[in-house]
Structure 1
Amino acid sequence: MTHFGIICPPYPGHLNPQAALGRELQSQGHRVTLLQIPDVALKVRSEGLEFYPLGESTYQPGSLAKTFQQLGQLSEMEALNYSVDFCQQVTEIICRDAPGAIAELGIEALLIDQLEPAGETVAEGLHLPFVTVSCGQAIHRRADVPPFFTPWRYRKALWAKLRNQVAYYMLDRNCQPILDTINHYRQQWNLPPYQGLYSTSTRLAHVSQQPAAFDFPCPNLPIDFHYTGPFRNPSPCGVDFPFEQLTGQPLIYASLGSIQNTKAALFRAIAAACEGLDVQLLIAHGGGISAEDIQSFPGSPLVMEYVPQVEVLARASLTITHGGLNTVLDSLTHGVPLVAIPITFEQPGTGARIRETGVGEVLPLKRLRVKRLRKAIQRVLTKESYAQNAARVQQSICNSGGVHRAAEIIEHAVKSQVRDLSEVASRVPANVLPSAQATLSEK
């Protein structure tokens, strides 16, 4: 048995697939503990994993909810820039507190979300084996692949490669506080500095919940990289749904995820676009909008706070989404085409892949009009190519192995690397964790 630690962003879009991966490893006899700020303790434990809080001495409880509230009012670059301060705070907490927690718990290997690069530095500093996990898009930081946060299409031309490199340069500049924090600890721990984010390759393996068919062409990927498809298994947090209220009309499922779900005006536009069509609209808002907002929606959509997304999508004909990868993959798992309205973060990049693979339509938020959205909905519902392309990606997902395959890869990669705790203790540099050797030696 191996004791795995998970370090990932404190956002539901990462916690949910990481929890599924953790449960799969638990089913194989392993122990799994997720380490993060105290605000996510209830969420993690309700998903069946052990939890260890970081940052209790400095973190202000409730900061995550306030950050979500503000992010829900922003879009595009404004949201990205606003998130940097909070991400820098979490980075500092992970670098400062995770080494001691890992030593105390006797964690032997780490699963590091690609979007939480501080975790890689902690693993390197402690000489612990780690596997990179992409719950969002797999980030291939290379000139020929458009960056994950851009809406750009894949192009082989030199100008496109230069454009991609400039975009990553701008990302590094905007995220300089995060990079500086990581490099501060890397210097203390005698590790070479990062020149940019998401460019390391010291992992044992890299698993992505994308299928290969839902990505840009990426020849010559590292041998340790694996497209496994979505990380899904039954969650202890079940949600009831009144399936008897479904009318039998083509079902359109609309969701804006867990952060952008406060955009009542966007939900209203979706309802207006579906009004008068021979469809049934189901809106899942996650508690982000008020009863007054719901009453103002045109038509007669079925509006619910939470739904069992996978079960609902099994009956859907179309998904309208902000481009969150989990909703996109759940839709494609059932061959459901999409209309995406990307808002911020990696959503434009997901939209670019929707366009590239032909599984749906993508509408820029700034140019969104009810008439344009209605036409996009009608095109995707009536033009066979969208459903055919979604079915092709669905087959890729079926062939990828999912969370079970991801867990197998992790077990195989880590099996020969997990050392006896006393050996780990003997290799922990004193400047990483002065008390780590004594703590681990006592276990």
Structure 2
Amino acid sequence: MRAVLITPPLHSHLRAFEALAQELTRRGHEAIFVTEPGIVLQGGAAQVTLPGPAARPQPRRLLPEILAGARRTDRLCRDGLSVIRDLAPDVVLGDQMEPASGLLARAAGVPLVSVACAVPMDPEPGIPLPFLGWPHDPTAGGLRRNLGGERVADLLMTPQTRVIRRWAQAWTLGDLGRLQDCLSPDLALSQMAPGFDYPRPANGGHIAAVGPFRKGQVAQDFPDDIRPDPQRPFVYASLGTLQGHRARLLARIARACRQAGAQVLVSHAGSLTEDQARAIPADWVRSFVPQQAVLERADLCVTHAGLNTTLECLAAGVPMLAIPLTHDQPGVAARIERCGAGLRLQPWQRGTGRIAQAVRDLLSDPAFRQAAAQFAAQAPGWQGAAGAIDRVEAMIRTSARARAR
């Protein structure tokens, strides 16, 4: 089997797709990424680079990010169809956040598997869009509220919609316009831990929640120069690889943890200058840390509610204080609160005092750790990339049998 993989050049998405590619290769299949110039892959993954100049750096603000995404989709569609046809793949594995993957697969007549590196985009009555932190609510009121959110999203995503419609019309693919229109109706691979997502009884039968694709990583050592006092709570705070530049928020988090009587380690993913890092009143401030090893020691994680960090916390049985900032983080934070493994703070609740109170509540109530521990007990059974590729192979076999009839 030859698989073509298409994903936006975001750190966590690339690493997730590389795990799928490694599993495909391990089984004797071919895995080939189609990327813009300038994208560096890890692990020796095969790669076909589109012609033209290197991609611009990923913007951090929402509207420029939407425009950049629209340009990327346009480029993939403009230059990618001939590449796909030359490669003649048996399947396209396409990131749900890159609609070009669905457009190209349909135009080339290749089976499509959607990959949800974050919260699945697949529509389901009662489930709001991932960037909304609303609860699951299938009542008439909940459906009306979700519809209002979708209308706002449609306005924001106008640049992307125009690109999707233009290529769908050029390739006579029908009336496609939204990201959701470009998803696979047959199979979606999700990194969600089983039981963490909202229920999807109507349209979720094709979604395989297999847990993090990157499973069974090499054991990590806890840093020798960080020595938490075992008599005091130890809190780990991180805003991920894209939001670590928020020095003021990290300083408030550190100050709040210390007010709550905890010692705190802050990781900023190399996004702060030395002076900015020194100004954060934490016990330890680091550019990077071995996160899994740190979580094994932590009593609490203060997180932006990125899905990767969230799943690592659940696998380690660590409760969370979610402070969502962008993308699907509000949706992940809502699920953290729903499953009982933590609390979330709204944008107007991010003062030092409010954060400190939430830290106290989480450290003093064992119910949060117990809820996280239930996921940790299940984590060894999460199937990861192996389970994902099992589903892909089964879909291709079924498709081949159907064509043979």
Which structure has more RCO (C-alpha within 8 Å, separation ≥ 6)?
1
Q: Does 1:64 align with 2:57?
A: yes
TM-score, normalised to structure 1's length? 0.84
Instruction: Answer whether contact 2:93 2:115 (CA < 8 A) is retained.
Output: yes
**Deviates most, 125-134 or 245-254:** 245-254
User: 1:262 pairs with 215, 235, 245, which one?
Assistant: 245
1:319 is matched with which residue? 301
Instruction: Answer whether contact 1:213 1:396 (CA < 8 A) is retained.
Output: no
Instruction: Answer whether contact 2:84 2:108 (CA < 8 A) is retained.
Output: no
The residue identity in structure 2 corresponding to 1:382 is S
How far off its partner does 1:289 sit? Answer: 0.4
Relative to 1, partners in 2 of residues 1:358 and 1:382: Cα closer, same or farther, differing over 3 Å? Answer: same
| Structure 1 vs Structure 2 CA RMSD | 2.3
1:431 is matched with which residue? none
User: 1:281 pairs with 241, 255, 264, which one?
Assistant: 264
Relative to 1, partners in 2 of residues 1:275 and 1:140: Cα closer, same or farther, differing over 3 Å? Answer: same
Instruction: Answer whether contact 2:37 2:54 (CA < 8 A) is retained.
Output: no
The residue identity in structure 1 corresponding to 2:320 is L
* 2-structure distance, mates of 1:329, 1:201: 24
Q: Does 1:245 align with 2:245?
A: no
* 2-structure distance, mates of 1:40, 1:254: 29
Q: Which runs of 5+ in 2 are unaligned?
A: none
Percentage of pairs with the same residue: 29
Q: Does 1:156 align with 2:117?
A: no
2:342 is matched with which residue? 360
How far off its partner does 1:307 sit? Answer: 2.2
2:201 is matched with which residue? 219
Runs of 4+ in 1 over 4 A off after TM superposition: 200-203, 238-241
* 2-structure distance, mates of 1:340, 1:377: 11
**CA deviation digits over 1:189-237, x for unaligned, max 9?**
111121433145644311111023111122233432211111113669x
Q: Does 1:378 align with 2:360?
A: yes
SS at match of 1:198: helix
2:281 is matched with which residue? 298
1:94 is matched with which residue? 76
1:272 is matched with which residue? 255
Matches within 5 A, 1:137-176: 137-176=119-158
* 1-structure distance, mates of 2:175, 2:220: 45
Give the total of aligned pairs: 400
How far off its partner does 1:40 sit? Answer: 2.1
2:23 is matched with which residue? 24
* 2-structure distance, mates of 1:325, 1:128: 29
User: 2:396 pairs with 406, 409, 414, which one?
Assistant: 414
TM-score, normalised to structure 2's length? 0.91
**CA deviation digits over 1:307-358, x for unaligned, max 9?**
2222322222211111111111111111111001111111111111111111
**CA deviation digits over 1:261-285, x for unaligned, max 9?**
1111111111111225554322221
Matches within 5 A, 1:343-358: 343-358=325-340
The residue identity in structure 2 corresponding to 1:210 is M
Q: Does 1:36 align with 2:18?
A: no
2:48 is matched with which residue? 52
Instruction: Answer whether contact 2:123 2:203 (CA < 8 A) is retained.
Output: no
The residue identity in structure 1 corresponding to 2:371 is N
Relative to 1, partners in 2 of residues 1:410 and 1:248: Cα closer, same or farther, differing over 3 Å? Answer: farther
Q: Which runs of 5+ in 1 are unaligned?
A: 72-78, 424-443
Instruction: Answer whether contact 1:25 1:407 (CA < 8 A) is retained.
Output: yes
* 1-structure distance, mates of 2:138, 2:86: 49
SS at match of 1:297: coil
Relative to 1, partners in 2 of residues 1:373 and 1:202: Cα closer, same or farther, differing over 3 Å? Answer: closer
How far off its partner does 1:21 sit? Answer: 1.7
**Deviates most, 357-366 or 271-280:** 271-280
The residue identity in structure 1 corresponding to 2:270 is G
* 1-structure distance, mates of 2:128, 2:377: 25
The residue identity in structure 2 corresponding to 1:298 is P
Relative to 1, partners in 2 of residues 1:101 and 1:195: Cα closer, same or farther, differing over 3 Å? Answer: closer
**Deviates most, 404-413 or 248-257:** 248-257
Q: Does 1:389 align with 2:358?
A: no
**CA deviation digits over 1:31-68, x for unaligned, max 9?**
21222222322xx1x243222222x32x454x125x2x
